[in-house]
Structure 1
Amino acid sequence: MGSEPGAGWEFARAAAVHSEVWVITRPRFEPLIAHALAAEPVLAPWIHPVYVDLPDWCLRLKKHHRDVYWYYPLWQRLAGQRALDLHREAPFDVAHHVTFASDWMPCGLTALPPTVPLVWGPVGGASYVPVPLLRWLGLRGAAAELARRTVTGACRRAIADRTARRAQLVVGLNDDVRRRFAGTAAVVVEPNAVVDPAARGSSGSSAPSRVRTAVFVGRLVSWKGTRLAVKALSHPAAANWKLEFIGAGPDQRWLEAEAARRGISDRVTCRGQLPREAVLAALDAADAMLFPSLHDSAPWVVAEACAAGLPVICVDLGGPPIFVRGTADGVSRVVDVGPGLPARLAVALRDSESVQRPTPSDRWSSARMPALLEAWYGQAAQFRAGRDAAGNGSSVSSEVGGLVPQTP
C-alpha cells in the first residue's frame, strides 16, 4: 500500500492490539486488506473492514487528480453515515479519523454523537512557503502556492475549526498544525510514518577524497525544493557532491536545463520513477539525502532515510524537521530559513563528509504504535467519562474500539 493507505492499515493493526476495530474504507482496498488479514490471521477476529463508496455514476466522473476535492467531501459524508449506523448496532468507545491526513477537509466522523470521543489525525496541511522563498517556486508555482494558501485557509476556518472543536484530541503531523489548532483543541504532534529500521548494510563509505552522492526522492515539483537543491549543488562547498533525483514531475526539464546552465550537468542526474526496492537500494548507496522541501507535512521518505541510517539535510519548514530532530542522529541537519539558504545547504552537505554515517533509527517503527494509540484513546476517552459522571452515571458497556481509517 502507498503512504496514505499504508498509514491507515498500520494504525488499524496497532489499534487491534488492544481494541476491536471497525475500518471504514473504499472497496478498492478490499483485495489488499484480505491479503493482509490472510498473512496475519491473528488480526482477523479484531479488524472488521467496512467498504463504502459513492454510486458508480459518481465514480465515472472522477477522472483526474483534482476531482478528489469534490469526491472526498461526498465520500466523507457517506462514511460518516455508515459509522453512525455501525454505532447504533455496537456503540463505539472512540472514533479515529486517520486518513486523508488533511487538516482542511471534512471529517465524516463528526456525524457520530458527541458522546463518542473523536481522535482527529494525524493531519497536516497548515504549512506554507514563506513569502521570501516564493521565488524558488517560479511564477506558476508561486501563484499556485498563494491560491493554495487562500483556499485551504478559508476551508480551515469554515470546516476544520469545527472538527477540531468536536475532537477530544487533534494529532498534528508537525508543529505548524499544533500552532494552528492549539487554541481550539488539545493537540499532540506525531507523524503518521511507520517505517521499520533497515536490515540492510549501508554502502556509504568514508574515503575522504571520493565524490559523494546526495539523493532526492519525491515528485519533481518546485515546492519540494528541487530548484533549491540544484542551486545548492552549484555552490563551491558542494563541489565534492553529485545529486540524484529519483521521481518524476513537471520540474524535470527545468532542473536539467538549470544544471546545464550552471555547468554541473555531469553531477546532476534525474533517474525517473523507480520501484521501491531500487529506491531503498539508492538510499543505502547514498551519502546523504538532500530534501529542501518547502511545505511537506510529513514525507515518509525522510523517515525511510532515517530508518536506513542516511543523514538528511532539510529546511526548517513543515514536517521534515520533525523526523530529523526526532531521530537525533548527530549528523542530519535542519537548515534555518533565511538569506543564503542554498549556500547553507551546501555547507551542511560538506560538513557531513567528515562524520561517520549513523546507525539506522527505530524512532518511527511500527513497535511504537500500539502504546501510542492506547495513550491517545485513553486521553480521548476521559472526555466521555467526564460526561457520564456529570450525567446519570451510566456508561456504555461495550468494549468496542471504533477506529476508522478513511482513504478515498
Structure 2
Amino acid sequence: MINILLNAYAVCPNWGSEPGLGWNWVINLAKYCNVFVITEGEWRDEIEKAVNMLPQSKNIRFYYNPVPHEVRKMCWNQGDWRFYKHYRQWQEKALLIAKDIIANNRIDIIHQLNMIGFREPGSLWKIGNIPFVWGPVGGYGWTTLRYLNDQPIGVKLKAVIKNIINIIQGKIYPLPINAMKRASYVMAANSNVYEYIKANFRDDVILLNETGCYKKEVPLTERINDKEFNMLWVGKFDYRKQLNLAIQTVSQLTGTYPFVKLHIVGDKDNATYTRLSALCHNLKLEQNVIWHGKIPNKEVHRLMQESDVFLFTSIDEGTPHVILESIQNNLPVVCFDTCGQGDVVNDSVGIKIPLSNSSQSPLDFAKGISYLINNRKELQQMRLNCAQRQIEMSWDLKIQKVISIYNQIISNELEVSD
C-alpha cells in the first residue's frame, strides 16, 4: 500500500462544507492507501469516535495541530481576514509535524487538500524530495457585480475590494505560484478555476471537484399533481447566495401558478432576513414563501424528498455540497451555469441559467421552472436520472481517479530513478 501524507486543516464527520469534504477524502482514500493526516484539533473527539467504527481505520493516522478558540471563530466567520495570519502560522507548524512524520515513516506522496482556497497552499510543498499534489484548488475568480444592485453599500464595497484582492493575489502572490511550480499535479475544483490555472500557470491542470456523492436509496413516488409545486432553497443569507433572486422568481410565477411555494432554509437571525421578509410582504408573497429557519441536516433531506425542484441562486461558489445532497435525494436542480454547480448539474438532472444581471435572471429562472411545472413527466424523468448522476459523481469514482494520479506519479518517479 502506498503512503499519503495529507494536509487537511478542516476534517469532521457528519458535516458539510470544508470539514465534510476533508473527512470524506480521508476515509475514502484510506480504502486504497495508508493516510497520514495533519489536521486542526477542533473535532478531535468526533474524528476518533468515527474512525474507530470504520473497517479501514487501521489505514488512518491523525496528527492534531490545534489553534485557540478565538482563531477558530475567525475561521468560521467567513470574510475575517485576520484568520489568514494565524492560518499561515498553522501551516508552518504543520510543516514541522510533517517533517517528523516523514522521519519516522515512508511517505510516497504529499497532498495539500484543504482549505481549498488558492491563497494558502500550505508549506509542505517546501519538502523537496517527495512528490507534491495540490488540490482541488478553488477561489480564483471574482463576484459578478451586476447582481449587487439592490445590496447595501457595505456589501457592494466588500465585493469590490474582494475582487481587487483576488485579481492581484491571483497574479502575483508568491505562495500559490511557488506551489504551482513545485506540484507534480494540480487539481482544479471547478471549470472556472480550471480555465484560470490553465491560462495563467500550467496546461496539465486536472478538473476534479472537491466533493462527491454517496449512493442513497430514497423512495421515488411519481409526482404529477398539477395543483402543487414546491421549490426548496437552502443556504447562508449573504449576497453570494442571492436569495433575493429566488423570491423575485416566485413573484414572476405566482400570477400564472398561484400554487407555487418556495421553502427557505437558513439562519434568520440577521439583517438580510429582515430585508427579504419585507420584500415578500411588498410582493404579496406571504402565502407562497415559507421560512423554515436553521434546521438539522436530516430535516433538510426530508424537505428535499418532499420538494419538486431545488432552486440554487448562488453566483459565487466552489462546488456546493448541497447540490450533491439534492441529487442524492433525487431532487432536480435549477441553478446558474457557473462555479461547481455548473459542472455537477447537467441536462439530465436539472436546468442551468446563464449569468446575466439581477433584472434578467428572475425571468430566466421563472421560464425554466414554468417549463418543469408544465412538463411533469420530464421532471419525473430528471428525478429518475439522479440515480445515474449519483454514480457519476460518487466518492468512490472520484477517489479512484486520484489513486490513478498517485500511481502515475510513483511510476514516473521510479522511471526517473532508474
**TM-score, structure 2 normalization:** 0.84
Q: Is the 8 A contact 1:96 1:119 kept in 2?
A: yes
Of 81, 95, 109, which aligns to 1:94? Answer: 109
- Distance, in Å, in 2 between the alignment partners of 1:204 and 1:224 is 30
Which residue does the alignment assign to 1:79?
Answer: 94
Distance 1:228 1:380, change over 3 A: farther
Counterparts of 1:191-340 in structure 2, within 5 Å, are: 191-202=209-220, 205-208=223-226, 210-236=227-253, 239-248=258-267, 250=270, 251-325=272-346, 328-329=347-348, 331-338=349-356, 340=360
Q: Is the 8 A contact 2:110 2:132 kept in 1?
A: yes
Q: C-alpha offsets along residues 82-126 of structure 1, whole Å, 9 cap, x if unaligned?
A: 11221232232111112112122242221321x322221112112
Of 156, 159, 168, which aligns to 2:184? Answer: 168
Of 76, 81, 105, which aligns to 2:120? Answer: 105
Of 358, 362, 367, which aligns to 2:396? Answer: 367
Runs of 4 or more consecutive aligned structure 1 residues displaced over 6 Å after TM superposition: none
- Distance, in Å, in 2 between the alignment partners of 1:12 and 1:383 is 24
SS at structure 2 position matched to 1:18: coil
1:137 CA drift (Å): 4.1
1:263 CA drift (Å): 1.6
Q: Is the 8 A contact 1:232 1:345 kept in 2?
A: yes
AA aligned to 1:99 is N
Counterparts of 1:12-23 in structure 2, within 5 Å, are: 12-23=26-37
- Does residue 129 of structure 1 match 2:143? yes
Distance 1:32 1:269, change over 3 A: same
Q: Is the 8 A contact 2:112 2:121 kept in 1?
A: no
Q: Is the 8 A contact 2:145 2:159 kept in 1?
A: no
Which residue does the alignment assign to 1:45?
Answer: 58
Q: Is the 8 A contact 2:42 2:66 kept in 1?
A: no
1:205 CA drift (Å): 2.0
AA aligned to 1:247 is G
- Distance, in Å, in 1 between the alignment partners of 2:150 and 2:312 is 14
Moved more, 235-244 or 366-375: 235-244
Which residue does the alignment assign to 2:6?
Answer: none
Which residue does the alignment assign to 2:9?
Answer: none
- Distance, in Å, in 1 between the alignment partners of 2:214 and 2:150 is 34
Tell me the C-alpha RMSD between the 2 structures.
2.2
Total equivalences in the alignment: 380
Moved more, 340-349 or 239-248: 239-248
- Does residue 376 of structure 1 match 2:405? yes
Distance 1:163 1:315, change over 3 A: same
Which residue does the alignment assign to 1:398?
Answer: none
Distance 1:338 1:201, change over 3 A: same
**TM-score, structure 1 normalization:** 0.86
Q: Is the 8 A contact 1:104 1:155 kept in 2?
A: yes
